[in-house]
Amino acid sequence: MYKLYPKMFVRRYCRAQKLLLMMKLTVLIILVAMLHVSAKTFGQKITLSEKNASLTELFDAIRQQSGYDFMVTKSILEKAHPVTINVTNAELKTVLEQIFENQPLEYQLTDKAVYIRLKTPTLLDRLKRILTGIDITGRVLDSQGIPLEGAVVRLRDGRHATTTDGYGIFSLKDVDRTDVIIISMIGFDKKEVAVAPVMGNIRLAPATSKLDEVQVIAYGKSTQRFAVGAVNKVSAEEISSQPVANPLQALEGRVPGLLVTSTNGLPGSSVKIQVRGQNTIGSTATSRLQLDNPLFIIDGIPFAPQNALINKQQNANSSIYGDPNAGMSPFSLIDPASIESIEVLKDADATSIYGARGANGVILITTKQGKPGKTTLTGRYYTAYNTLTRTLPLLNTSEYLAMRREAFKNDNITPNTIPGSPGFAPDLLLFDGNRNEDYLKTFFGEHAQSQRFNLMLSGGDALNTFSLGINYGRQRYLMPGDFAQNTLNGSARLHHNSANRRLNIDFSTGYAFDQNNVPGSPSILNAFTLPPNFPALRNPDGSLSWTYQGLNFSSLINSGINPYAYLKQTDRVSSKSFLSSMLISYRLLPGLKFNTNIGYNTLTTNELSLYPIVAQNPADAPKGISNKSSNTFYTWNIEPQLNYDKQLGRHRINVLAGATLQKTNNNYVTVTGTNYTNDLLLGTIAAAGNVSSSDGDVNYKYTAGFGRINYIYDEKYLLNATGRIDGSSRFSPGRQFGKFASLGAGWIFTQENFIKDRFRALSFGKLRASYGSTGNDNVGNYLYTSNWSTLGSTYSYNGSVGYLPRNLENPDFGWSITKKLELGVDLGLFKDRILINADWFRNRSSNQLVQYQLPAQTGFMNVTANFPALVENTGFEFMINATVLKSTGVKWRSTFNLTIPKNKLLDFPNLASSSYANYFVIGQPLSVLRGYKYAGVNPETGIYQFLSMAGTTTSAPSALNNDNKFVIGNTDPKFYGGWRNTFSYKAFSLDVFFEYRKQRGNIYMSSISNSPGYQANLPADVIGNVWQKPGDNAQYQRLTSQSFGSAASSAYVYYRSSDAVLGDASYVRLKTATLSYALKPELIKKIGASSCNVYVSGQNLLLITRYKGNDPETQNYYGVPPLRTFALGADFNF
């Protein structure tokens, strides 16, 4: 047998030492040895009978018969041709001459060894090749017989290459008859074919390695094998395995560097999303950062609303409970089943061609389109039940009443039934002490049903394809009442290729309608905190109850609102979206195309909120209220491009030049009518006693010129250069344009012979790097000039409407700049059964755009300006794809990703004297939290205490002494990621996905406004953990019945602003588990179906966490956590 040593195959025993010794011999000794071996050679007798055998097989047979070893590299053997030979008792030299006849190799005999090297062609050989070379032609097709344009056809030596035309046809001249061509194409496996004058149709199989999977990139397509940028793909298969209604939720935990967070579990709720951290410090000085959102592009067109909230009014999905990013998501109008893939672009090489729009990353959404072949009907249906996930158990009546009694005892107050007095305690003295209502189950305990149904009709031929799709979805709310989100959308995509293959047209259009009947009162979200013995909220006839034992609810409930009042309200959010795009491509010359992408997208949301008299407390002499609003986003986009693509021998070059013209508009109007005297008239504003309104119209214009050069040499060396000039309407004339560029390079080192021969287990290896800059114009529109607004009828001058200046003019601010550096390595092991991607990135954002606060004497609150603050994001990203098991009938694939991010404010001149001093610290993340330093519960007084800046402990720290300036932590995740495993056995398939995060966050006590002991139910966590007597070492301070005025209630204010309310919010969540079964063909062929899968699926099935709150992802005590979903469905194909 053979043993692989560097560069050589040798026999196992001592051959390496012999070889080393031979290299030191003199020329004379070598000659003598060669003569000796030559003499012995004629005595060797060889018998062989092989047909189309490889040289490796022949060498092995000869070694066994002669004892000779063969010294040859693996890369040289790859250039050899198969051999057919039949000899009996032949001399070794005779056999070798037959084997090496017509081979591009030559050999040399020496002591018990045959050395093999590439044959150096003589002048005669070269002349012979010219004279005897053949012209070859052929046609490259896909597995369906559709011609493939742009496939690379090259000879094995790489010196001659070409690409197929629009008909899939190629030709090469003067090709050696013994040569082999290699055909490659994005999305297909390579294929080697021996040359012939007429090669006929050559079919390529779809790519089986993830390295050759098609990736959608900016203005084109690529593969992981040849990409130098940081791009990750989530496929339709991965999206469809999850029972989600919002496509952004399908990305959670699946892409390294992408942090996706749900705001709550209600239908249509928004999703927070960031690519590689926060780059900007925000336009205003506030403790709540304005999140940097990536650019969203759907089928080549920027999504009009991006990730902005589309609702203008408050409801149960709004931000009233502390999260400014909570609201209604525009992505609810996009059905996940209609998506073919989602690509996430992260580094400068991948994003800089989008300029300022892609400064915070880019997410490309590509919808499904028709494929050539017979007309097919595919569909998917599932029905699901959604329930509440992890919540903290609340006090029962006996525990609650004991807590209240202890609180009054601590305050030395005797409970009474006098409303407004410090001792007023209806829960102790008036309510039924035997009543025990779990209001969490009452208001959120229902099983909310949901359904989704999708149909797609598609087909076509080599020249024309089509697809028509329709999707319907419905999801009910957990709360009692008829509240649900209904979504209906339809889409159509057409592709046309002219008969001469010069003109290509892709047209897509889609319309979606969504109606969300939302619980109108946000107060429903905290209704579960009612005392467990609170009396019935509805009368026997179903009407709302407003009194109990002669006392009005205004004195029994803090808000004075019956939580069931939302059942009488109307809050309807109706949205409609239209998106259409057309890509026209015309081949001017071979390899040169002119493309134009034209698109339009609009999304309009209409809201109707009615607050009738019947839903209000009669004691307040209420009047009806009506709110109507309309919020419209639209974008049109035109991008003409020239694209040149050419294969010249070993050189592949692609040049792109283009321009962008874009306009985005957001206009809205809100009309409020009050003082309605009759609920029947709430639908008309004309019946309102008073009417007020507000509106806005915001325009944004963007233009750019861009270029990109992509160069590949010998499928080993990769280079990508991008340049762009951006123009934005957000800057004053003279400052509107910015220049930005990037450079990316890669080296596929496993294509080098010295790597191939040494590391056989390494099937693929690539080093890559990129560096570049992008601009950022993340400020409001037209702030460089003075803007005015009307004051309405309240303020007037001589009967005319008054005007108010809104901002201070400053024409001098300009582009913020983000510079991105990336280093990466991609590895494939064991014939790509294991793929490893590792990245290190560093993004630095400078010249920050801010709304800098001004002294009140200026007459303005702030001014827009650039500020020399420097923010850095660094991190490591890892992704492993492995085929763990692949045997007959059994497969196991595993995908694991990990992100370790780090955000830091590197520089901020004069931070201490700026308006940002309370929110940022140099050297800390932008999410840094400053507050009081918690020092535990005083064991003698039972009151919270804190450290002062002077180093003492006190229960009354002072902000004037900067006692609230301690750095108490940050909310950035330390690391996060996901782990997916798919198992298949015969017709069964199991898909399991875990998501995880290591982070700190706000525990439930940060959301509770009054110290424990007040009239509100609490988590049972307080039982046994509160201070009760001197000497106790307790977790929580003494109970108090008062919301203010007591020592405990005062200390509680500081407590909520301290590090005491920060805790471990790390978790591991079983995000998705799906078990499917493919029905046997004989069962479904009777109805004409070609395939059918039935499945059961679950979402948010298991949560492992130590978090002291409901859910560690949403971290909102009053918000609805992500729901647990159980779905039953089927996929079918006709």
Q: Phi/psi zone of residue 1013: left (φ > 0), alpha (ψ -120 to 50 degrees), beta?
A: left
The CATH architecture to which 124-208 belongs is Sandwich (2.60)
Predicted pLDDT of residue 793: 60
Alpha-carbon distance of 1078 to 661, in angstroms, equals 48
Please indicate whether residue 529 or residue 187 has the higher confidence score (pLDDT): 529
Q: What is the pLDDT of residues 696-737, one digit of tens each?
A: 899 999 999 999 999 999 889 999 999 999 999 999 998 999
Alpha-carbon distance of 1134 to 1132, in angstroms, equals 7
Alpha-carbon distance of 176 to 1114, in angstroms, equals 67
- For residue 404, how far is the Cα from the chain centroid? 47
Residue 850: is its pLDDT beyond 80?
A: yes
Q: Give the model's confidence band at 71: pLDDT under 50 very low, under 70 low, under 90 confident, else very high.
A: confident
Predicted pLDDT of residue 888: 78
Q: Give the model's confidence band at 7: pLDDT under 50 very low, under 70 low, under 90 confident, else very high.
A: very low
Q: What is the pLDDT of residues 1094-1117, one digit of tens each?
A: 999 999 999 999 999 999 999 999
Return the closest-CA partner of residue 504 out of 494, 519, 514.
Answer: 494
Residue indicated by tokens 């339709």: 236
What pTM, to 2 d.p., does this model score?
A: 0.86
Return the closest-CA partner of residue 103 out of 124, 122, 118.
Answer: 118
> What is the amino acid identity at position 872?
E
Give the mean model confidence (pLDDT) for residues 208-234. Answer: 90
DSSP of 114-157, one letter per residue? EEEEE----HHHHHHHHHH-EEEEEEEE-TTS-B-TT-EEEETT
Q: What is the pLDDT of residues 879-928, one digit of tens each?
A: 999 999 988 789 999 999 999 999 999 999 988 888 788 889 999 999 99
Pairing of strands 373-387, 448-460: antiparallel
Q: Give the model's confidence band at 15: pLDDT under 50 very low, under 70 low, under 90 confident, else very high.
A: very low
Alpha-carbon distance of 701 to 731, in angstroms, equals 11
Q: Give the model's confidence band at 39: pLDDT under 50 very low, under 70 low, under 90 confident, else very high.
A: very low
Return the closest-CA partner of residue 40 out of 91, 94, 87, 89.
Answer: 91
Kindly report the CATH class assigned to 3-120: alpha beta
Q: What is the pLDDT of residues 631-670, one digit of tens each?
A: 999 999 999 999 999 988 889 999 999 999 999 999 999 9
Return the closest-CA partner of residue 897 out of 814, 813, 955, 976.
Answer: 976
Total residues belonging to the chain:
1134
Return the closest-CA partner of residue 106 out of 121, 94, 118, 96.
Answer: 118
Render the burial of 838-849: b for 16+ CB within 10 Å, e for the rest.
bbebbbbbbbbb
Alpha-carbon distance of 881 to 827, in angstroms, equals 10
Q: What is the pLDDT of residues 118-156, one digit of tens each?
A: 877 666 666 666 566 788 899 999 888 888 888 999 888
Give the mean model confidence (pLDDT) for residues 1109-1129. Answer: 93
Q: What is the pLDDT of residues 276-285, one digit of tens each?
A: 999 998 755 5
Give me the percent of the chain exceeding a pLDDT of 70: 94
Q: At what angle do helices 55-66 and 92-99 cross, to 10 degrees?
A: 180
Alpha-carbon distance of 517 to 483, in angstroms, equals 5
Residue 18 is given by DSSP the state: H
Predicted pLDDT of residue 125: 63
Q: Where are the domains of the chain?
A: 3-120, 124-208
Alpha-carbon distance of 139 to 576, in angstroms, equals 47
Please indicate whether residue 209 or residue 957 has the higher confidence score (pLDDT): 957
